[in-house]
Copies of this chain bind each other. A is one copy, B any other.
Amino acid sequence: MKLASLKSGRDGRLVVVSNDLAWCTDAAPVAATLQAALDNWDELGPALQALADSLEHGGMPRERFHEHDAMSPLPRAYQWADGSAYVNHVALVRKARAADMPESFWTDPLMYQGGSDGFLGPRDPIPLADEAWGCDLEAEVAVIVGDVPQGASREVGLAAVRLVMLVNDVSLRNLIPGELAKSFGFFQSKPASAFSPVAVTPDALGAAWKDGKLHGAMEVELNGKEFGRADAGVDMTFDFGILIAHAAKTRALSAGTIIGSGTVSNRDAGGGPGKPVDQGGLGYSCIAEVRTVETLLAGEAKTPFLRHGDTVRIEMRDARRHSIFGAIEQTVAVTGK
């Protein structure tokens, strides 16, 4: 089953979307919003699935689905907790600034509490008041969970996964060092993220959802040029079950909580830093990583962070090259400030 929230008010209007993303049907008879569906999933999930089955078989009134009409599936959420499960990415970034990485990073997940009061739509501009803040994209996978009890195991966590999405976790790189030095974590350096137009249930992903990971190439384009295609199922040190259990260690998680994977990153086949796509590599899922590789190889970073007018596209396709979640496509824009 695929779900989307069409633009309407603060929480959108929930629709069920066909597997090929061509059609949708109003979910209002079941739930007006995605959060309302998640709040009562045991009852409403099957009813939404019945709508999806009817839509797939042409038994429902339907309308064309246009990705640019979609908000993020949860236009605002009660929790957005983002992990950093591709430890290769962390190791590379640390290596570039000659900082040691504690051995525990390979066994104890990193996770930060993100802002969730208002997400960007998948085709909304990225508002950036000041280019000097060093705006970066981060292509990630995220799941929406149901209620998770405190102290949940990996298995309980995995069973609570309701929907899977892609994310552009926008980061302001040049604000990060100052915030981390204050030791309270990210705040100003993590403005609103954007999620894929469509959220997909694990069962509808087939073989692409396995072992608590989403498998497939994270296709990232920067200004229309191929920038990354790392496989989200590879080099993910902590699967979503482990990330959810980590988040639930000292407190319950409420339905509608979003858990992120952190920036997707694959090790280079030769063991060195990853190569750009045009040199036969898998490229990158964020600019910070290519800058890191440039620093390691040439002594300095040359790829600039995002500037006003730059466009980012993030998408994942199935074996037949059909888009699974729809595309996040955003242009960096000046804000009113």
Q: Which A residues are closer than 8 A to B by beta carbons?
A: 10, 39, 76-79, 81, 84, 102, 105, 108, 110-118, 127, 129, 133, 149-151, 172, 175, 180-192, 246-247, 249-254, 256-257, 335-337
Contacts and interface: CB of A to CB of B under 8 A. Distances in A.
Given A133-B250, A251-B191, A184 B111 contact: yes
Contacts of A111: 184, 187
The 10 closest A-B pairs by CB, nearest first: A185-B185, A151-B337, A78-B117, A79-B117, A117-B254, A191-B251, A113-B113, A112-B184, A118-B254, A188-B250
A160 B114 CA distance: 22
Given A117-B78, A118-B254, A183 B182 contact: no
A110 B250 contact: no
Contacts of A118: 78, 251-254
B76 A76 contact: no
A81 to B, nearest CB: 7
A76 B254 contact: yes
Contact of A76 (B78, B192, B247, B250): B78
B184 A183 contact: no
Contacts of A337: 150-151
